Amino acid sequence: MAERAPVEVLPDRGIAACAQVLTTSDGAILHAGGRHGEPHDGWFEGEHWRRVGAQVREIPGRGAVLVVEHPGGTWAIRHYQRGGLVAKLIEHHYLWTGLERTRAFREWRLLARLSDAGLPVPEPIAARVRRTGPIYTADLITSFLADTRKLSAYIADDEVPEGAWERIGRMVRAFHDRGVRHPDLTAHNILLDSRGEPALLDFDNAALEPPGRWREAGLARLERSLRKVAMETGTQFDAAGWQALVAAYRGAGAPSA
């Protein structure tokens, strides 16, 4: 099935307005017009950063993320990989339907608009697409949100900061009010810093859409995730925390559709 391009509702300004595409020998790199220097393929390779003396570490998981500390900042480098059963057949290859429809370019451009709008997301640095005939592979570099942990980790340690549930509810509502349909709204993609301030990760296949049932579906997805994390970690599902999250979501802004 062809991938749909997102509905454009956020204006181009800031990072989004600076976007440039650099053509490479086998694809292209999308970047913020030199804000972080002139991009090249080495930016996406851990070995390059090790050669120049940067600190490189890996965050395990599906599509392991490299965290690179260098004089220009701390970046997270993610190679796009499939999950589920399909990953056994085509782990990290995708069907080519045009450069702007690739997963990396769509996620970069959406993150740029969300970052420009002041929403709590990583800043997009660069996206790379490498094409071989009808297929492509993709990589994304964003800023690394330091001093944060996944909500799932806080739950596992029974240390969710006071007031965090309400802040998460208001954050989710802020994204929904901007028309952001996040397809994987889970405890693993919500980060909290030491003050309990939330941020949202992983906008692969996210889209900008008019208000609809997807909002309630997103909340239901999050509740299932919270219950699953509690079950897997042997902790108690925080029903009061969930109710506080939902109340904050409902109380923020105009009534949701």
Express each pLDDT in 199-242 by its tens digit: 999 999 999 999 999 999 999 999 999 999 999 999 999 999 99
Cα gap 151→131, rounded to integer Å: 36
Q: How high is the mean pLDDT of the chain?
A: 90
Q: What is the pLDDT of residue 14?
A: 87
Q: Would the pLDDT of 124 be above 60?
A: yes
Q: What is the pLDDT of residue 84?
A: 47
Contact 155, 229 (CB under 8 A): yes
Q: What is the pLDDT of residue 153?
A: 96
26 is catalytic: no
Cα angle for residues 80, 110, 169 (degrees, 5° grid): 100
How far from the centroid of its chain's Cα atoms is residue 50's Cα? 25
Express each pLDDT in 84-112 by its tens digit: 444 444 667 999 999 999 999 999 999 99
Q: Would the pLDDT of 7 be above 70?
A: no
Q: What is the pLDDT of residue 4?
A: 43
Q: What is the pLDDT of residue 253?
A: 55
Please give the sequence-ordered ranges of beta strands (E in DSSP) within the chain, or none if there are none.
Answer: 20-23, 27-31, 55-59, 65-70, 73-79, 94-95, 124-132, 135-143, 148-150, 180-181, 190-193, 198-200, 207-208
Express each pLDDT in 130-185 by its tens digit: 999 999 999 999 999 999 999 999 999 999 999 999 999 999 999 999 999 999 99
Q: What is the pLDDT of residue 16?
A: 92
Helix (H, G, I), strand (E, B) or coil at 155: helix
Terminal Cα-to-Cα distance of the chain (whole angstroms): 28
Active-site pick, 12, 184, 193, 238: 184
Q: What is the pLDDT of residue 10?
A: 59
pLDDT > 70 in the chain, percent: 88
Q: Is the dihedral of CA 138, 144, 145, 150 positive or negative?
A: positive
Q: Would the pLDDT of 81 be above 60?
A: yes
Cα angle for residues 221, 222, 228 (degrees, 5° grid): 90
Quick one: tokens of 202?
Answer: 């992983």
**Residue 121 CB neighbour total at 10 angstroms:** 23
Which residues are bridge partners to 28 per DSSP? 23, 129
Among 28, 208, 44, which residue's Cα sits nearest to residue 125? 44
Contact 30, 44 (CB under 8 A): no
Domain 148-251 has CATH 1.10.510.10: yes
More confident residue, 35 or 124: 124
Contact 178, 115 (CB under 8 A): no
Question: Residue by residue, what is the 3-state secondary structure of 68-117?
Answer: EEECCEEEEEEECCCCCHHHHCCCCCEECCCHHHCHHHHHHHHHHHHHHC
More confident residue, 99 or 252: 99
Q: What is the pLDDT of residue 62?
A: 54
Instruction: Identify the H or E element spanning 162.
Output: none
- Model pTM score: 0.89
